[in-house]
Structure 1
């Protein structure tokens, strides 16, 4: 579902227009948080990537991984950037200007974005088998801003996929979720987590076998832990022998780029994560 746009927003986002320089509300905006797509709500840029370029439009030297698509303009002169989720026009990207170490400037129309302040953002980490399927389901929840797959719960620093698959790192394949507390809550996301895998299986999920495929919730607060405990109790009252472990969140290591949003990139659907309603 897309947000309703004003005529001015349509001119920029759908018709690839440009707002006047120095007129956008985010040009001189440097609050901590995440900038999202005005049309679909997908996370685009972190405030830590924003810098003052003096060009008259918000500037960023990097986007959230997989959030922005680049394509050459019809005239072959500039590179357009659009929201990878909905295709909405954002602006253009320029390289080689020397503004930052990344030598990149995403020049974005303010009108193409919304902003979620850090005070509204909460993070959660879940593991339940192959992280491709976990991310596929959790990323679709309304109010979820961004997700990324990675490794956590073990001893090895900055592990590779090959190392984790060896079973020697102690890490689980996991997904970090960032969500807007004004639009959803931890319990809603945790319910979907339990409803998209079999929490009774130990060190496996479907055909994937190994400690890295275990069911485990890594909580950031006592409130998250208590919510998870409450949901587990409800499942146990239904007769399920829940094996899901609860551990305090620790270092989360990002997985390789080719793992991020794997099913979206490949146009496939999860083979071992199928939604099954478990809560009334």
Structure 2
């Protein structure tokens, strides 16, 4: 058994529970295999992971023979443990209707390690940068798309290095609140991403977004190459043909700075929906 931290012992050995929404794999979308933190036994495939919004990683199936089910002493829930070493994983629930398999393995991130597929990092991942008002809402909607592996809230386009949220809000650093989208181009295209971006915020609002008014909240796309610029210009042309007066600005991609941790997955942690963003079909 590898040396465990006190928190790992509390969860894995003493059968505790990790606090919701803080686990590193709650919103993880990379391809690979989740193995036991203690003994390394493969437990779950990433293809069986789904979003339940419960605050912990959820899987609707396990690798055959890898997970053992043990009724809790009070008979109210079914515990799941690694069949090889007995490490506590979490609990399993049925009848909730999340997926056709009607099963949810609710697993503590701290009990797992993800072994990523090599191609996920080397061949298929691309990056896109969108600013559409408060980054909480943009992140909330884009991270739900199939093919999107991660969405990071942060700042882009300014003239100072390593800005904080306070700096951007009060010191006129020139940065926009934005998101970095990590996506698998074999599953979703840049154009498909951009279309959704134009439909989850109001691209006609010039000096902010919803109730958030100010230069840091304007609508913008930061393109990394001429192909992306051509796609954005084409989408804006279509929207204007459809009668929209588009205020979205196009910028060359600049250095992106990740925002403070409390801004990441804000609505997931809060357990609510985005209040200043929503979906409106425009194409």
TM range (shorter): 0.5 to 0.7
CA 158–227 in structure 1, closer or farther in 2 if over 3 Å, else same: same
Deviation beyond 4 Å, 4+ runs, structure 1: 16-21, 77-82, 86-93
CA 228–120 in structure 1, closer or farther in 2 if over 3 Å, else same: same
Aligned residues: 205
For 1:33, the equivalent position in structure 2 comes to none
| Alignment check: 8 A CA contact 2:36 2:113 kept | no
| Alignment check: 8 A CA contact 1:215 1:245 kept | yes
Residue 38 of structure 1, CA deviation: 3.8
CA 161–20 in structure 1, closer or farther in 2 if over 3 Å, else same: closer
For 1:58, the equivalent position in structure 2 comes to none
**Is 1:136 equivalent to 2:136 in the alignment?**
no
Residue 156 of structure 1, CA deviation: 1.5
CA 168–238 in structure 1, closer or farther in 2 if over 3 Å, else same: same
TM-score (norm 1): 0.64
**Is 1:179 equivalent to 2:183 in the alignment?**
yes
**Is 1:245 equivalent to 2:249 in the alignment?**
yes
| Alignment check: 8 A CA contact 2:150 2:183 kept | yes
Q: In the TM superposition, what are the counterparts of 1:101-250 in structure 2 within 5 Å?
A: 107-108=113-114, 110=115, 114-115=117-118, 116-166=120-170, 168-250=172-254
Q: Structure 1: which 5+ runs fail to align?
A: 1-8, 25-35, 43-72, 94-105
CA 17–163 in structure 1, closer or farther in 2 if over 3 Å, else same: closer
| Alignment check: 8 A CA contact 1:134 1:196 kept | yes
TM-score (norm 2): 0.64
Give the one of 49, 52, 55 matched to 1:40.
49
Residue 89 of structure 1, CA deviation: 5.2
**Residues 182-221 of structure 1, C-alpha deviations (whole Å, 9 max, x = no match):** 1110111101100011111112111100000000000112
**Residues 30-74 of structure 1, C-alpha deviations (whole Å, 9 max, x = no match):** xxxxxx9342379xxxxxxxxxxxxxxxxxxxxxxxxxxxxxx89
| Alignment check: 8 A CA contact 1:144 1:178 kept | yes
Q: Distance in 2 between matches of 1:91 and 1:240?
A: 44
Between stretches 147-156 and 165-174, larger displacement belongs to 165-174
State the superposition RMSD in angstroms.
3.4
| Alignment check: 8 A CA contact 2:37 2:110 kept | no
